[in-house]
Amino acid sequence: MSVVVDTEGRQTVLVVEDEESYQDALAVGLSAEGFVVTGATTLADARALLVRTTPDIILLDLMLPDGSGVDFCREVYHSSRIPVIMVTARTSEVDVVLGLEIGAADYVTKPYRLRELVARMRAILRRPASTSEEEFIAFGDLRVDFVRRSVTRHGVEIDLSRKEFDLLALFATHLGQVVTREVCLDTLWWGMQLSDTRTLDTHVKRLRQKIEVDPTQPRHLVTIRGVGFRLDG
């Protein structure tokens, strides 16, 4: 157990994992990705660390020598809201984790690729702290409510799919700023190749049809050619 103090504004991750091979690989891999990595091999270690430090994100194995990651995840959710990525050894455990509604931000199944894990971590760390800070953003005739996950125009609800809402929420939290295609793909379609952007374009098109008065002359959701998109108020 070691405590690393972050002095360079880098993001910190607590890896709670009893398999040495994973601990070692993650310590090296996540450090190389710019994270400050702290490791714990038991829940007792992890609890002790959380008394003294507040990591930006926690990577939590489901089965640990002194208990279940499920209980710990619930604890963290209720006490600190630090985002937790659950790590499961079998796909069948995923349903258990999701079914319990333990407040995990995401999950990965072993064996996972570092690249996929990092993409998911970054996506979570980019998410707005919506429930505590900004509950909604209003611009033009539109209002995006992050708590209710709804979008209204003049108070009338617009029917969006989950991905369409996530995409709009991403743009809305960067109102007036360019969001690159890469960030869109990274945030919503983890690790998808930049060359395969048809899915993104399809979602943007559908979003325009729903939120723009004239989708052919978008006033809010503007394309920045070769770069990405910008949502204007």
CA dihedral 165, 166, 169, 174 (to 10 degrees): -140
Smaller CB separation from Ca ion, 20 or 116? 20
**Any contact of residue 112 with Ca ion (CB under 5 A)?**
no
Q: Which amino acid is at 117?
A: L
The CB-of-196 to Ca ion minimum distance in angstroms stands at 34
Q: What crossing angle do the helices spanning 43-52 and 69-79 adopt, rounded to 10°?
A: 20
Binding mask 170-209 for Ca ion (x = CB under 5 A): ----------------------------------------
Among 61, 93, 164, 186, binds Ca ion (CB under 5 A): 61
Residue numbers 6-45 binding Ca ion by CB under 5 A = 18
The CB-of-61 to Ca ion minimum distance in angstroms stands at 4
Q: Which stretch binds Ca ion (CB under 5 A): 31-39, 57-65, 197-205, 206-214?
A: 57-65
Q: Which stretch binds Ca ion (CB under 5 A): 60-68, 148-156, 164-172, 211-219?
A: 60-68
The CB-of-45 to Ca ion minimum distance in angstroms stands at 13
**Any contact of residue 93 with Ca ion (CB under 5 A)?**
no
Smaller CB separation from Ca ion, 87 or 144? 87
Which tokens in the block code for residue 107? 């999950």
Phi, psi of 151, deg, nearest 5: -125, 130
The CB-of-222 to Ca ion minimum distance in angstroms stands at 47
Instruction: Please give the Cα distance from 180 to 208 (Å, whole number).
Output: 17
The CB-of-216 to Ca ion minimum distance in angstroms stands at 54
Among 63, 124, 183, 192, binds Ca ion (CB under 5 A): 63
CA distances from 151 to 147, 167, 188, 209 (A): 11, 12, 18, 14
The CB-of-190 to Ca ion minimum distance in angstroms stands at 23
CB 60 within 8 A of CB 19: no
- The closest alpha carbon to 158, from 121, 125, 222, 207, belongs to 207
Instruction: Please give the Cα distance from 143 to 151 (Å, whole number).
Output: 6
Identify the helix (H) or strand (E) that includes residue 32. helix 20-32
Q: Which residues bind Ca ion (CB under 5 A)?
A: 18, 61, 63
